[in-house]
Amino acid sequence: MSLALPTFDDVVRASETLKGVAHRTPVMTSATADRQTGAKLFFKCENLQRMGAFKFRGGYNAIANLTPEQKKTGVLTYSSGNHAQAIALAGKLHNVATIILMPEDAPAAKKAATEGYGATVVTYDRYTQSREDIARQMQEQTGMILIPPYDHKDVISGQGTAAKELFEEVGELDYLLVCLGGGGLLAGSALAAKALSPGCKVYGVEPELGNDGQRSFRSGEIVTITPPKSIADGALTPYLGQLTFGVIKRDVTDILTVTDAQLVETMKFFAERMKIVVEPTGCLGAAAVMKGELNVPPGARVGVILSGGNVDLKQYGELLSA
């Protein structure tokens, strides 16, 4: 039996749910980036979203669609940081109790922010323990509703609203570059691109050492890898979701990778030239086009989603000064 994949109609409904709640984040441009690439780049700044990342869109949409009875039981999830904060904040806004399973090495700033929104944080070792197994055990013990970070119809639909807004603001694009972890943002963005800019080529971008998405896309089946290590902590998933992969293999052009060194250079560019803080994961798409992993023709219109800006300031300073 085939999975019922989310559609662009679901993205449209999510945009109504998020209206007046999520920020309609700005689209920024840079003459320097345009000269460097020979293209016209449009940066959708989800680093300026509530709780600092696009994840608020999917998290809020998912909790908003729960029944009153489900909201009373509370919500459980697992995340390295941004989905954790999104569920925590959305739970606070809906008066829903939340428990978040986070890896022990998650950035301290993300853990503190998650707790600051009122969530209970439980930690685990991502290299020796399965977060899915732990979450299932906790779900059985508590009866709470599990909202995973990407493989969920309402999460995917909510994430797609970022790309929907981008196309509505700048019109059709030739290329769209989106960071890739579990695939929620990429799948949602691909749904929006197919509906609003049918000729747009959509690329996912992930860390070089965590290329499970690339391997899955090119083999035609989901590939699982050992939990990778990279400064792009928001993209360190060992495999794609069933729903996200279903959309990605149908609607995405290809999956690219970039190195940590390229991410650092891109972070420096945003800090020095555009005066914005973008976390390493948020730089994945920009690094691919600005560092030549994707060669676009002169004058091409290229959309880039900057997925988040949640950084540990100590690490951020060390990376920028290296």
Instruction: Quick: pLDDT tens for 49-66.
Output: 999 999 999 999 999 999
Residues 265 and 178 in one domain: yes
Residues 312 and 230 in one domain: yes
- Domains in the chain: how many in total? 2
pLDDT of residue 1: 42
CATH for 118 = 3.40.50.1100
pLDDT of residue 2: 61
Give yes or no for a contact between 84 and 100, defined as CB atoms under 8 angstroms apart: yes
Q: Which residues are catalytic?
A: 55, 80
Residues 256 and 314 in one domain: yes
In a domain, 269, yes or no: yes
CA atoms within 13 A on the CB side of 112: 7
| End-to-end C-alpha distance for the chain, whole angstroms | 51
Residues 98 and 32 in one domain: no
What gap in Å lies between CA 209 and CA 226, rounded to an integer? 10
* Paired strand residues for 209: none
Secondary structure (3-state) at 188: helix
pLDDT of residue 212: 97
pLDDT of residue 128: 87
Residues of the chain with pLDDT under 50: 1
Give yes or no for a contact between 180 and 204, defined as CB atoms under 8 angstroms apart: yes
In a domain, 161, yes or no: yes
Encoded tokens for 128: 């020796």
pLDDT of residue 131: 87
Containing structural domain, residue 107 = 56-146
